[in-house]
Amino acid sequence: MDVLLDNSGAFAEGVVTTVELTALSFVGALAIALVVVTFRVSPVKPLRLFGTAYVEIFQNVPLLLWILFFVFGLPKLGIQFELFTTAVLAVSMYSAAYYAEALRTGINTVATGQAEAARALGLGFGQSLRWVILPQALRSVVQPLGNLTVMLLMNTALAAGAGLVELSTAANRINLVEAEPILIFSGAAVVYALLALVITAITRLLERKLVIHR
């Protein structure tokens, strides 16, 4: 245990970075996914095509390649942010494709009568989506979104490939100095597991509050 205590500062910094990266990427991914899924179900064909292309392109290319491209490629095109911001951007945009697919499944589970009723009330496409369909769709996909968020947490470790010092990199660096791999990597694994547990607990809570049992 001494090794972890001696390096608790560096370790804690890694944990904080991972938590921030996960939280910000979650918010970003959900925001992008809402836009993408709106495009995918809209009556405007070019927007539908864009939504489909977005999902296919991001889902079929590995996240690590996106991260490397964003971090090392974009500066060559004159677009440069801080490393952490770039990592958030890459993880958000990648995860958004998965969140959007989950949301679309949710939209498909909303009964057709709901949309018909909304139209009968005179609501347009945007209004019925915003006020009638999405609130119900979101409720029905709490569990899948939670699972995807655990996956997002796991995926943040890939930012190590671009040199961001998050939890896995911090553990790796401490190990390079201390050479106590078993202890250090189990410590990191336990923290990841705890964070995943927190996400799962929040998901359960939300599910109990939100899900409509039919």
- Binding part of the chain for other proteins, among 21-29, 83-91, 168-176, 201-209 by CB under 8 A, reads 168-176
Query: What binding mask, one character per residue, do residues 84-123 give for other proteins by CB under 8 A, x or -?
Result: -----------------------xx-x-x-xxx--x----
Identified binder of other proteins from the candidate list 121, 177, 197, 201, rule CB under 8 A: 197
- Binding part of the chain for other proteins, among 1-9, 28-36, 84-92, 157-165 by CB under 8 A, reads 157-165
Spatial contact of 87 and 114, defined as CB atoms under 8 Å apart? no
Query: In 98-124, which positions are buried (b, 16+ CB within 10 angstroms) versus exposed (e)?
Result: bbbbbbbebbeebeeeebeebeeeebe
> Whole-angstrom Cα distance, residue 21 to residue 60?
22
Decide whether 43 or 209 has the Cβ nearer to other proteins.
Answer: 43
Residue 104 CB, shortest distance to other proteins, in Å, is 10
> Whole-angstrom Cα distance, residue 84 to residue 147?
24
Find tokens 């401490």 and name the residue. 174
Residue 95 CB, shortest distance to other proteins, in Å, is 13
Query: In 170-182, which positions are buried (b, 16+ CB within 10 angstroms) versus exposed (e)?
Result: bbbbbbeeeeeee
Identified binder of other proteins from the candidate list 30, 32, 63, 100, rule CB under 8 A: 63
Residue 153 CB, shortest distance to other proteins, in Å, is 8
Q: How far does CA 64 lie from the centroid of its chain?
A: 14
> Whole-angstrom Cα distance, residue 164 to residue 200?
26
Which residues here bind other proteins, judged by CB under 8 A?
A: 41-47, 50, 56-57, 59-65, 68-69, 72-73, 76-79, 107-108, 110, 112, 114-116, 119, 124-125, 128-129, 133, 150, 153-158, 160-161, 168, 171-172, 175, 179, 181-182, 185, 188-189, 192-193, 196-197
